[in-house]
Structures are given as structure tokens and as C-alpha cells.
A and B are shown apart, each in its own frame.
Chain A
């Protein structure tokens, strides 16, 4: 069965610096996708970025980029130029289209941005 691991329960970063949030996965599926979501204190889950296993380039969305290393089975989220509003929980999730489109979620990383 697929498994998602986020090894950093909590992270701190100084405002305006970059930070990397780790995510590793375990799968034997040839085709899959990886998502990152942000959950601020309000509770709503916000979709940030998606990486498909066959995508040739790492995904980028504004200040978010995904460092996808397929051989290492890692999909780390990089946030550049951190802002105070980036303080939140961040979740990595695995997707396989054959799995009834269900997402398998990591336990999350709490990010605090210091002024």
C-alpha cells in the first residue's frame, strides 16, 4: 500500500528566507501524483501545487516549487521568500487514478515564519 511520510512535525523560518518541507512516499505504481496543501489556523485546506509522476519538469506556482526526485521518491515543497502569512500546517498527499481518486495524506508539517 502507498505511504506518505512527512518527517518534520515543526519548522521555523525567518521572513524573506526560503524553506523546504520534506515529503517522501512509498509506491510501486508507475503513474501517480503528489499534492501539497496549506491549512492556516482558520482550518480551510488550500491547494498549492501538483506534480505528476511523468512530468518532465518540477512544478512551480508562484513562490511555491516542488523538488521532485522520482528515484528517491521524494517531493519536497520549497517556499521562497517566506511571508508571515505562510505560517500554517502543510500537508503532502499522494494520488493514484486507479485508487478511486482518493488522496493518501501525510501527517503534516507546522511552519512558523518569524518576523
Chain B
């Protein structure tokens, strides 16, 4: 069965420090991968998605970047964190194709980032 891992679970970082959040998926090949951010009490904001190694699409211009160095690895980075980067970061994967046409996304446990 497929599983998705994210780490760290929580992170407290000062403004201006770098960031690296990692997400890995097991049990599937060539998944679509997604990074979301959720502010407290709000819905999900799609940050990046990837349909393959080295293929990253950005949804929101900001000081964050994403990379996909391996098929099942997705990394969210920043060179200098801002206070507004605080939030709950979720990684998700979905199948590239599905027999019944559904493309449900499966989420990792999330990383709670606090920028101080």
C-alpha cells in the first residue's frame, strides 16, 4: 500500500533563516506531487505541483521554491523565511491516471511551521 511521509512534524525558525521540508511517497511510481499551505482556520492554498522529476509548477509567487530530485521525493525550500510563511504545510500525491477517472489526493501528516 502507498504511504506518504513528511518531516519534520513541527518546526520553529527565525525570520531570515532557510527552510527545507521533505516529502517522500512509497508504494507507487510516477505520482503527481503537491505542496499546500494552510493558514490557521483557513482552507488549503496550492503552492506547487509536479507531474514528474524536475517538472515543477508554481501557483503562487513568493519566496518559496520546490524541487523533485527523485520520482517520489518532493522538497519545499526557502532561502529566507518571512513571518507570513508560518502555517501548516501539507504534501500530497495522486495517481497520474485512474481507471474510474478519479484523482483523489492523499495527504501526508503535515509540518507545522512557526516563523518567529
Contacts and interface: CB of A to CB of B under 8 A. Distances in A.
A107 interface: yes
Interface in A27-48: 33, 35, 37, 42-47
Interface string A81-115: 00000000001000101001111011110000000
Interface residues of B, number: 26
A89 B108 CA distance: 16
Interface in B88-116: 88, 90, 92, 94, 100-110, 112
A105 B90 CA distance: 14
A50 interface: yes
Interface string B28-42: 000010100000001
B11 to A, nearest CB: 14
Interface string B42-75: 1110100101000001010000000000000000
A45 B43 contact: no
Given A33-B102, A45-B92, A102 B46 contact: yes
B112 A52 contact: no
Contact of A35 (B32, B46, B100, B104): B104
A95 B103 contact: yes
Contacts of B102: 33, 50, 52, 95
Interface string A54-96: 0000000000000000000000000000000000000100010
Contact of B32 (A45, A101, A107, A108): A101
A35 B102 CA distance: 9
Interface of B: 32, 34, 42-44, 46, 49, 51, 57, 59, 88, 90, 92, 94, 100-110, 112
24 contacts: A33-B103, A37-B107, A43-B90, A44-B107, A44-B108, A44-B109, A44-B110, A45-B92, A45-B107, A47-B104, A47-B106, A50-B102, A50-B104, A52-B102, A91-B43, A95-B103, A97-B103, A100-B49, A100-B51, A101-B32, A101-B49, A102-B34, A103-B105, A107-B42
